[in-house]
Structure 1
Amino acid sequence: MLEIKNLNKSFKQNHVLKDISFKIEKGEIGVLLGKSGAGKTTLLRCINGLEEFDNGKIIIDDKINNNSKDILTLKGKIGMVFQNFNLFPHLSVIENIIEAPVNVFKETKKEALERSRELLDIVDLKDKEDFYPYELSGGQQQRVAIARACALMPKVLCFDEPTSALDKDTIKSIVNVMKKLKSQGITILIITHDIGFANEVADKLITISKGVVECVEEVS
């Protein structure tokens, strides 16, 4: 479960996020919609700890982050898939996925490899574990990035424009992966400008305008 309560963020005199509040339940997909400059990316960066916020609360499974100093309380609970994937070019697919579990969270290599191969199966890339990023299509790199984010077993997974520059068939594969993750109880938050994609995957549509939540719409 992800809940945002009265979140505020300013850059000097520019009040970017104004009392942002919404809730996404476990196993739901929430999509953030809004024009460029509405505050979507800043909100995502606050949620995943890349940006400090002024006041308010971020709650994940009853763990509360009241400000940036408390971000360690949420460490490991939030995964992030960036728009440009950020894969390590010198590492193979499987090495990209196990890098953080082994070197940051000190899991055994055997445990990390076992879970990573399960994740590659979920994203339909189990035959690509020894490939390098440059040998993969954009859609395949996107799915590797998803597997890597899931390797830390996050409660919440955030996506920044996951379908930008992808063709229709590749977008369908990303939709299928997200639905698989949803079925496993992962809460997903997505920024997108693709309304068709949003309507296909979303349980909730959260529209932001000028730093304010205009509406939260349940999708049947």
Structure 2
Amino acid sequence: MSHSTTNTSDVLALDSLLGSEELELREKVRDFTDQRIRPNIARWYEDAVFPRELPAELGELGVLGMHLEGYGCPGRTAVEYGVAAMELEAGDSGIRTFVSVQGSLAMTAIHKWGSEEQKERWLPRMAAGELIGCFALTEPTAGSDPSSMASFARRDGTGDDAGWVLNGSKRWIGMASIADVMVVWANTDDGIRASWFRPAPRESP
């Protein structure tokens, strides 16, 4: 009678598809997950806390905005990002979600559409885990459909120093309660959907 020799730690047979740098990164993130996340996640869950020291540790690990180039970001490949996310997900989905919201949503929006000043101001510190970002798209009546957004931002003043006045409601925004930087999506007078970046006061609800 034959017995299966399937490697239960690699049921998708991904190892053979990964290069040496990708495997090295995977082991690094796996070790972090085993040592830092798995032993503590049940307690964090029961206490309903997000450990504020963890973002800096994830920044040191190099997984925040890891697919972005410049501004203190690691500039890793999409495959490396996927491998890191898979290992974090194996430890806890919430921690992996934090990494994804920070890097793929908040940081990517600033990296792609932010001014040079905004990129220099926020991205290095977000990559280091010193600042936490959130991505405010979802609304009570529109869900996550940008074409149905009711939030509206209008210019207040003229010239380069003009600010914005934002009106609207956002709901179910992950990390909003602990964010230092918010990326808020809204309509404008030009009829386009705009990204609007601002520091988020900690005392805001």
- TM-score, length-normalised on structure 2? 0.31
Higher strand share: 1
Instruction: Using CA pairs under 8 Å that are at least 6 residues apart, name the structure with larger relative contact order, 1 or 2.
Output: 1
- The structure having more radius of gyration, on CA atoms, is 2
